[in-house]
Structure 1
Amino acid sequence: MAPGDTPPDSGQTSGLSHPQPMPSRVPSIVTLVAVTVLTLLVLAFVVAQIIGWSNIF
């Protein structure tokens, strides 16, 4: 195609496709719960270290 030429028409589709299914929210909820539990465990460990209840390290 030379500069300035009109490009050919692109293919077009008409009509509606099938409705797309909604993605599951389970993986995001499980991830959120896991991160929250891990954060609480780390926070509890740090507080226990500061207070002196834990002699792990």
Structure 2
Amino acid sequence: MTAQGPDPDPRDTPGLEEGGGVPPGETPPDSAQTSGTTHREPRQSKAMSVAWVVTIVLAVVLVAGFFLAYLIVYLVNGG
């Protein structure tokens, strides 16, 4: 016994014209769907959170401080 697909046989589906067309006012039969959700997903904010902004600013300050300290040590030691 073979498993039948999710789509109905077009020859047995009411509302289809010869050749598989759909007459005006009719809708095609539903098919199985493998994606989609049953409810709307919340919209994601495009704005960066305060924590990310603070983290990025802190990283930039630390990197700049490292290079400034390296420059000072280099100049003090006679370059």
- After TM superposition, the score normalised by the length of structure 2 is 0.42
Q: Percent identical across equivalent pairs?
A: 18
| Equivalences, count | 50
Relative distance call for 1:34 and 1:13 in structure 2 (3 A) is: closer
Structure with greater helix percent: 1
Aligned-residue Cα RMSD (Å) equals: 3.6
Rg: which structure is higher? 2
Match of 1:45 among 57, 64, 69: 69
Runs of 4+ in 1 over 6 A off after TM superposition: none
Partner deviation per Cα, 1:18-57 (whole Å, 9 max, x = no partner):
642526521221111111110111011100111017xxxx
Gap regions ≥5 residues in structure 1: none
Gaps of 5+ in 2: 8-31
